[in-house]
Chains A and B, each alone.
Chain A
Amino acid sequence: MPVETDRTPPLRPLTRAPTLGELLLEGAEPERNVSLRFLFVGDDGPPGRRGDAPDDGVTLRGLEVLEVARRAAAHLRARGVSAGDRVLVLLGGGPAFLAAFGGCQLLGAVPVSLSPPLPTGSVDEHLARIGRVAALSGAVATVTLPEVAAYLRLGRGRGPGGEPALSRIILGRDLLAEPTRLARPHQARPEDPAFVQCTSGATGDPRLVVLSHRALLTNVRTIATVLGFREGDGGCAWLPLFHDMGLMGFVLCPLAGGIPSVILPPEVFVRRPQEWLLGIARYRATISAAPNFGYALCARRVQPADLAAADLSCWRLALCGGEAVSPRTLAAFASRFAPMGFRESSFLPVYGLAEICLAATLPPLGRPPRIDSVEREAVLCRQVATPAGESLAPAETIGFVSVGRAMPAHEVRLVDAEGRPVAERRLGEIEVRGPSLMNGYWGAEAQTAAVLRDGWLRTGDLGYLADGELFVTGRHKDVIITRGRNLFPEDIERAVDGVPGVRVGRSVAFGVPDEELGTERIVVLCETRLGGQPERDRLQRQVRVAVLTATGMSPVEVVVAAPGTICKTTSGKLQRRRMRERYLLGQLGPPRETLLTRARLGASFFLERAKRAITRRRGARR
């Protein structure tokens, strides 16, 4: 078996830079081995640096990375941005993203990163969100693509009060073309905000996660240490850079650890997933990462002929995170690509979230994923993950994938509905603590206080510990996570409300795990008074189109129901979780046995918590 030999290459020295600006300056030194290759950049590279072949890309090495950042910083300053200002970055990736991000660091400005509108989505919906983020963060400038800039200039991106929140609009390519350079970089303090990433609030409102230089550098240094970055290592991924896994995993980690990195645009991966694997083989990458669906897509979609003689034996670490990790996906991927040299022991299922920069836990390297098979009934009804005995039928068991232990200097614990730590194999809410935690949510003290207590972050995710390793079983938020992207049910429901024939305010959206797709399937349930089958068929199609237009993603299933089907609370709130449960029980569509268990885990735990909270409140009143 071709595993590690005794001649393990030496580890790479990690950066000691206290800030991201220092990290860029340090990266200019040749021995830091900095090299970022952007594939399929087309015209989006620095002037005169277009790749000849489309997949050859543009490579920026040490000093060139710093140069790009220096020019971008000069451009931003000339456009009125100064230290401490927030700058909205609406770019998918590529050298322009690097310029905007690095330019802000040298200038002491804080990049606020958000996905640009998707080609298939509605620009208006997305612009409203951009406007909210701009207003909330008080951004003074926006860096984006020409086509997005055209819309922003029309003044459509406005804050909640209708005020134009997007004032100075700067094109990413102008940052790259700037002829002058910033001479003296800003001296930031390690605790200063270095980066703001957007995540979801409980009601779909954006939350701005403020990460300090110290938190970011601690997280990427810890990841590089645990992964054992060494001579000969290299990254290759297709993740967008507005996503933490892309930016921190494949730009900041490589800069901090002194290993080269190759980055493909996500849209290339979606069309031709084999490009990811071909990139790994071609550039002899050793480290890559993707959400579960990326592995699932390859396992189903990539044919051996697409890979020709590609050799994946170089791939020593295949991280999988960002959404639920499915044992079935890992097995399917491993068996399909074993003939090309992929090893199952390369898999590293991980757990993390935006509030802790990127990663919180990692399993030990070099072992196949640990799957814990537990009794379905015990996990569902008694909140205990009892190991499944030999005598149980497969339908009576359920498998969860270990995401390992807390990284060094970080802690993970599980607490019950009262906030008390629970015993091993008892289900609880996951809390994490450590030096990579965010400073807080920008401009939202109450929300920050609600999730950060005594240094512990309440994640809202559920799981259990077994032999000290974490198993994630579900979550309680209504957010739908599909293909590594968070969607808000409110946004989908608003779009569905606009379809003629749908009863306004009488539709719900939720996500259910889909083993075949390897991600969550979006389900929309909507009420209508239309009775005829042709009208209902038309409604289903129109709802699909409306959701696609609003979010850029289509719901995979639209369930049309009679008036009165959807439950609301007495205060008029939609009961999404209850409708989801009814759907999974087959009361609204086909029964889904395997989905049911995974999906129900979240609900019962938080129901229990709510009950106890009510009991407590009653007790206090007595």
Chain B
Amino acid sequence: MTTAPSIDIEPEMKRIVGRLFRLSPESIQPGFRFVEDLGADSYDAVELQLAVSQAFDVTVTDADVPRLRTVGDLVEHVRRQQPGR
């Protein structure tokens, strides 16, 4: 489970997820699961991986993907790779 998400990362993550799935960013909750709540298919997973890597300059490897089930998981994943923020 995620700890309190970073203030900087979360709004940006909501923007990315909102843009990719064409949903309003404000409606995205950290607890949303990508497949069960947001209807993400395998291509969406690939797109998301790419968008997040580029936006935050972090790596999201294929091995990470199965663990990253929710928006909050992804925020936490980015936060851990950005200790300075």
Contact = CB atoms under 8 A, between A and B. Distances in A.
Given A537-B27, A552-B41, A300 B50 contact: yes
Given A120-B35, A537-B27, A267 B42 contact: yes
A271 B42 contact: yes
Given A270-B46, A534-B27, A541 B22 contact: no
20 contacts: A270-B43, A271-B42, A271-B62, A297-B46, A533-B27, A534-B27, A537-B27, A538-B27, A541-B27, A543-B39, A544-B38, A544-B39, A545-B36, A545-B38, A552-B41, A553-B41, A553-B43, A554-B40, A555-B39, A556-B21
Chain A CB count within 10 A is highest, among B22, B41, B42, B46, for B41
Interface string A541-578: 10111111000111111100000000000000000000
Nearest to A273: B46
B24 interface: yes
A611 interface: no
Contacts of B40: 548, 554
Interface string B9-28: 00000000000011110010
Contacts of A555: 39
Given A544-B39, A547-B39, A548-B39, A554 B24 contact: no
Interface in B27-83: 27, 32, 35-44, 46, 50, 62
Nearest to B23: A540
Interface string A273-295: 10000000000000000000000
Given A271-B46, A537-B23, A557-B22, 14 more contacts: A120-B35, A270-B43, A271-B62, A273-B46, A301-B46, A533-B27, A541-B32, A544-B39, A545-B36, A545-B39, A548-B35, A552-B41, A554-B21, A554-B44
- Range, interface on chain A: 20 to 34
B38 A541 contact: yes
Interface of B: 21-24, 27, 32, 35-44, 46, 50, 62
Contacts of B22: 556-558
Contacts of B43: 270, 297, 483, 553
A541 B37 contact: yes
Interface in A432-485: 483
A548 B41 CA distance: 7
Contacts of A546: 39
Interface in A158-186: none
B23 A541 contact: yes
A272 interface: yes
Given A272-B62, A537-B24, A558-B22, A120 B42 contact: yes
A544 B39 CA distance: 5
Q: Interface of chain A, helix or strand or loop or mixed?
A: helix
Q: Interface of chain B, helix or strand or loop or mixed?
A: loop
Nearest to B27: A537
A562 B68 CA distance: 35
A558 B42 CA distance: 18
Contacts of B24: 533, 537
A544 B42 contact: no
Chain B CB count within 10 A is highest, among A120, A272, A483, for A120
A85 B51 CA distance: 50
A485 to B, nearest CB: 11
B66 to A, nearest CB: 11
Contacts of B38: 541, 544-545
A343 to B, nearest CB: 26
Contacts of A483: 43
A233 B62 CA distance: 33
Contacts of A554: 21, 39-41, 44
A301 B41 CA distance: 16
Nearest to B44: A554
Nearest to B32: A541
A483 B22 CA distance: 19
A287 to B, nearest CB: 26
A276 to B, nearest CB: 13
A271 B47 CA distance: 10
A541 B50 contact: no
A322 to B, nearest CB: 16
A377 to B, nearest CB: 30
Nearest to A589: B22
Nearest to B62: A271
Contacts of A544: 21, 38-39
Interface in A490-549: 533-534, 537-538, 540-541, 543-548
Nearest to A552: B41
A545 B44 CA distance: 13
Nearest to A537: B27
Contacts of A556: 21-22
A534 B38 CA distance: 15
Chain A CB count within 10 A is highest, among B37, B38, B43, B44, for B43
Nearest to A549: B39
Contacts of B50: 300-301
The 10 A-B pairs with the shortest beta carbon distances in the complex, nearest first, are A544-B39, A537-B27, A545-B39, A548-B39, A557-B22, A554-B41, A554-B39, A553-B41, A270-B42, A120-B41
Contacts of B41: 120, 548, 552-554
A294 B76 CA distance: 31
A272 B42 CA distance: 11
A267 B43 CA distance: 10
A557 B24 CA distance: 11
A272 B38 CA distance: 23
Contacts of A267: 42
Interface string A247-283: 0000000000000000000010011110000000000
Contacts of B46: 270-271, 273, 297, 301
Contacts of A272: 62
A400 B77 CA distance: 43
A543 B24 CA distance: 15
A558 B22 CA distance: 7
Nearest to A542: B39
A553 B77 CA distance: 26
A545 B42 contact: no
